[in-house]
Amino acid sequence: MVTGVTEAGQALLSALEGNATDSAASILLRMNELRYQVDQWRKLTSPNDWLVTPETARLLQHWRFHKFNDIRPFFCQIEAVETAIWLTEVAPHKGKTGKG
């Protein structure tokens, strides 16, 4: 078990490590639900609704609204970090919805 990771995050880590007893279809359903939840959260426009720390909110605002002049993060890098943020900061506030 990894410390500091929510129950949903731990389930995801277990599934990715091959330690899950779930079928591949069940894992895919969970992954798609996670993607949906993160996508709905990403669409929230007000930082007050993001359910993250002030430091994380500033980081998200930078990634989402800063006009990069040259090298900018790849979209998949941002999506990966947003998913990690959602699992660690947002999901615990969402009750059953945030627990995979």
Mean pLDDT of 85-97: 86
Model confidence at 92, pLDDT cuts 50, 70, 90, reads: very high
Other CB atoms within 10 Å distance of the CB of residue 22: 13
pTM, entire model: 0.69
Domain boundaries, the chain: 7-98
pLDDT tens-digit profile of 28-68?
888 899 999 999 999 999 999 999 999 999 999 988 888 88
Q: Which uninterrupted H or E stretch holds 57?
A: helix 54-65
Q: Is residue 88 a contact partner of residue 9, using CB atoms and an 8 Å limit?
A: yes
Whether the per-residue pLDDT at 19 is higher than 80: the answer is: no
Whether the per-residue pLDDT at 100 is higher than 70: the answer is: no
- Kindly list the distances between the CA atom of residue 23 and the CA atoms of 20, 31, 48, 56, 99, in Å, as whole numbers in the listed order: 8, 12, 38, 34, 18
